[in-house]
């Protein structure tokens, strides 16, 4: 069975060697000891590409590899990052071309493919859960909010920017739009909203009965439920996976009840949520699976 290098870029960069639906050997991580919560936000696009290149070559080693797959945040088209609200310096960067031209050693000349990071996560879930034959959707909760879909399909699929409120004051989304899911549930947006509190403190205060924080926690759940209901009304019911560093903030019981209130047509009922622990391996596997399919 051929081997592929998978790379996931989220809060940091992680790379691994993938065969089938498993990672072989240790992952390579950059930076090894993050200097801050968001180490990539201050890096120029060329430095991010160089860091990815170095990890890919380390992972490939002396192995013959079939392809390199990269999951990267933002709108990805033809290997270029058209927009990335949480890594704004990368907007317009031709990441696929830059890596294809710079890879050396066993990775030189190997096809490189770039995908949205949440789409890579959805592919990883599909591969490791035996769901490559069916629609798989996932919400990734972190600094931004991603909506991943497998199989990959033409379209933007920036579900994190689904409009979930018409309140003109809801303008905390990093893209500048108003009323977006990410502008409510994204970690960056929460910090902008509560300048005096970290997200963990907001949810702790809500549990202790603080009215302001409790109201916001309710808003978070209603926003995620609304975005999910939109997907159900467009593509039908099913399992929605939730992963990422901030899944701990979500009460699945409350979320399911809210979705049931929003989706009333009987053929569209029956969706459920499943939490997947956040791991780099899942996205790495998905990026590799998508790349393998793309080059065949």
Matching residue, tokens 């209603």 = 222
Angle at CA 281, nearest 5°, toward 276 and 287? 105
Cα–Cα distance, 129 to 241 (Å, whole number)? 11
Cα–Cα distance, 80 to 149 (Å, whole number)? 19
**DSSP per-residue codes, 175-233:** TS-SSBSHHHHSHHHHHHH-TTS-HHHHHHHHHTT-HHHHHHHHHHHHHHHHHHHHHHH
- Count helices and strands (H / E) in the chain: 9, 11
Q: Looking at residue 201, what is its pLDDT?
A: 98
Q: Helix, strand, coil % (nearest 5) of the chain?
A: 45, 25, 35
Which one is the CATH code of 129-275: 3.20.20.150, 2.60.40.10, 3.10.180.10, 3.30.420.40?
3.30.420.40
Answer yes or no: same fold for 3-122+280-295 and 129-275: yes
Q: Looking at residue 35, what is its pLDDT?
A: 59
Matching residue, tokens 């018409």 = 166
Q: Looking at residue 36, what is its pLDDT?
A: 61
Helical pair 95-102 and 45-60, crossing angle rounded to 10 deg: 50
**Would you kindly state where each structural domain of the chain is located, as residue ranges?**
3-122+280-295, 129-275
Kindly give, in sequence order, each residue whose CB lies less than 8 Å from that of residue 166, ignoring residues fewer than 6 positions away: 179
**DSSP per-residue codes, 130-193:** T-TTS-EEEEEESSSEEEEEES--SS---GGG-B----TT----TTS-SSBSHHHHSHHHHHHH
Matching residue, tokens 């790495």 = 284
Q: Looking at residue 295, what is its pLDDT?
A: 85
Which two structure tokens, joined as six digits, stand for 221? 């759940």
- By the 8 A CB rule, do 9 and 142 touch? no
Q: Which of 94, 90, 21, 13 is nearest to 58 (CA)?
A: 13
Cα–Cα distance, 30 to 280 (Å, whole number)? 12
What are the backbone angles phi and psi of residue 113, rounded to the nearest 5°? -130, 140
- By the 8 A CB rule, do 136 and 150 touch? yes
- Whole-structure pTM value: 0.93
Backbone Cα Rg of the chain: 19
Q: Looking at residue 148, what is its pLDDT?
A: 96
Cα–Cα distance, 56 to 201 (Å, whole number)? 38
For the chain, 296 residues long, give each residue's pLDDT as a single digit of tens. 679 999 999 889 999 999 988 999 999 999 987 656 678 888 999 999 999 999 999 999 888 999 999 999 999 999 999 999 989 999 999 999 999 999 999 899 999 999 999 999 999 999 999 999 999 999 999 989 999 999 977 778 899 999 999 999 999 999 999 999 999 999 999 999 999 999 999 999 999 999 999 999 999 999 999 999 999 999 999 999 999 999 999 999 999 999 999 999 999 999 999 999 989 999 999 999 999 999 87
Does 3-122+280-295 carry CATH code 3.30.420.40? yes
């Amino acid at each position: 069975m051929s081997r592929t290098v998978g790379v996931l870029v989220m809060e940091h960069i992680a790379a691994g060697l993938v065969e089938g639906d498993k990672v072989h050997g240790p992952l390579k991580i950059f930076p090894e000891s993050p200097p801050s919560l968001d180490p990539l936000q201050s890096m120029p696009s060329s430095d991010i590409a160089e860091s990815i290149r170095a990890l890919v070559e380390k992972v490939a080693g002396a192995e013959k590899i079939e392809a390199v797959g990269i999951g990267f945040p933002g709108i990805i088209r033809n290997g270029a990052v058209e927009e990335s609200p949480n890594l704004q310096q990368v907007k317009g960067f031709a990441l696929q071309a830059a890596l294809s031209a710079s890879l050396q050693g066993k990775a030189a000349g190997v096809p490189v493919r770039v995908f949205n990071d949440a789409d890579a996560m959805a592919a990883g879930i599909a591969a490791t859960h035996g769901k490559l034959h069916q629609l798989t959707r996932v919400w990734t909760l972190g600094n931004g909010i991603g909506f991943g879909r497998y199989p990959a399909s033409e379209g933007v699929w920036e579900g994190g920017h689904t409009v979930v409120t018409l309140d003109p004051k809801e303008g905390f989304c990093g893209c500048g739009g108003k009323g977006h899911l990410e502008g409510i549930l994204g970690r960056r947006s929460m910090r902008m909203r509560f300048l005096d509190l970290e997200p963990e403190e907001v949810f702790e205060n809500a549990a202790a009965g603080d009215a302001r924080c409790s109201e916001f926690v309710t808003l978070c759940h209603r926003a995620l439920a609304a975005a999910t209901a939109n997907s159900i009304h467009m593509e039908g019911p099913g399992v929605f996976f939730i992963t990422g560093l901030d899944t701990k903030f979500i009460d699945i019981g409350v979320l399911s009840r809210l979705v049931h209130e929003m989706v009333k047509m009987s053929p569209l009922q029956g969706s459920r949520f499943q939490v997947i622990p956040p791991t780099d391996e899942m996205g790495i596997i998905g990026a590799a699976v998508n790349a393998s399919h793309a080059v065949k």
